[in-house]
Structure 1
Amino acid sequence: MTITITTKVTVYSRPGCVQCTATYRALDRKGITYKPVDIDQTPGAEELLRELGYLQLPVVIVTGTWDGWSGFRPDCIDAL
C-alpha cells in the first residue's frame, strides 16, 4: 500500500514585493509547487490575512503541516 501526502503551498503576495519575489525564486529552486495569490486581485484576501494576524508579505500557508509564515524565510522553505 502506498500513502501519498500532498502538501499544498499558497503564497499570498503583491506585485513589486521584493520578499515575495525572493520567496517565489526559493520555492522554484527547491522544486516546490505553490499557488500564487495576488492580494490586490483577490477580493477579501488582504482582510483575511490581517484577521489571521499577518502584517507582512508574502504570507505562505502550508496546508497539512504548518499554519504558515510571513516574510522571506529560507529556513521555513528549506524545512518543506
Structure 2
Amino acid sequence: MNTVTVYSTGPSCIRCTMTKRVLADKGIPFNEIDIRDDANAREYVTQDLGYTEAPVCVVEDGTDQDHWSGFRPDHIDRIAALT
C-alpha cells in the first residue's frame, strides 16, 4: 500500500482536517507535513508542484506524478481502491 504525504497548513485548515480524516477512515497510511513550519516543503508544494491551496496530497509511489490539491474524496477513493 502506498503512503500519502499530506502537506497541510495546520489544524485550522478544514480541508486539511477532512482529508486526513477520510484517509484515516479508509485505512490509507499518511504522513503530515505542516508547510507553515517547513520552508523546504513549502517550496516543494508551491514551486515544484505549483499549488497554492492546501492540503496538497502526494502519493508516495516513487513516480512523483500522483498528487492533488484540496479536499478530494474522489482521489482518496481511487487510492483506497488500489489497496
TM over 0.5: yes
Q: Which has the higher helix share?
A: 2
Q: How many residues align?
A: 75
Partner in structure 1 of residue 70 of structure 2: 71
Cα separation, 2, equivalents of 1:53 and 1:42: 17
Which of these residues, 3, 17, 21, is aligned with residue 8 of structure 1? 3
> SS of the residue aligned with 1:44?
helix
Structure (1 or 2) with the larger CA radius of gyration: 1
State the 4+ residue runs in structure 1 displaced beyond 6 angstroms. none
TM-score, length-scaled by structure 1: 0.85
What's the TM-score, normalizing by structure 2? 0.82
Whole-Å separation in 2 of the counterparts to 1:8 and 1:22: 17
- State, as a whole percentage, how many aligned pairs show the same letter: 47
RMSD between aligned residues: 1.4
